[in-house]
């Protein structure tokens, strides 16, 4: 499995754990990871769309940043929540992250 996919799967597991601790559950609707490595480091960009319900879900989204969790084997360089669609029963949120593989 490619390094960016490993990092993406680990990021998803950490997001699921973080949401569970916050009292909500997420469903990953879609995700994609791409390699953006340079000669001196291995880096990947991740884009996810997640569905989360209710006020606890909104509160969880509001606390997400690169300091809110650890991705094993990787440094979480950036993590941000983009557009949030609250027109349905659940919130649909876009999450963007960048990871760098630890040496």
Which domains does the chain possess? 3-101 (3.30.2000.30)
Query: pTM score, two decimals?
Result: 0.92
3-state helix, strand, coil in the chain (%, to 5): 30, 45, 25
- Residue (of 82, 73, 67, 81) closest to 44 by Cα position: 73
Cα Rg of the chain (Å, integer)? 13
List pLDDT tens digits, range 59-86: 999 999 999 999 999 999 999 999 999 8
- Residue 103 pLDDT > 80, yes or no? no
List pLDDT tens digits, range 11-35: 999 999 999 999 999 999 999 999 9
Query: Using an 8 Å Cβ cutoff, are 54 and 89 in contact?
Result: no
């Amino acid at each position: 499995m490619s390094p960016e996919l490993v990092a993406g799967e680990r990021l998803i597991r950490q997001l699921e754990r973080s949401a569970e601790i916050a009292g909500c559950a997420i469903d990953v609707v879609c995700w994609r990871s791409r390699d953006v490595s340079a000669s001196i480091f291995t880096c990947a960009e991740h884009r996810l769309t997640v569905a989360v319900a209710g006020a606890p879900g909104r509160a969880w989204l509001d606390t997400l940043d690169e300091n809110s969790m650890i991705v094993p084997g990787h440094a979480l360089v950036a993590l941000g929540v983009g557009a949030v669609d609250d027109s349905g029963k659940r919130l649909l949120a876009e999450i963007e992250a960048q990871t760098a593989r630890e040496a």
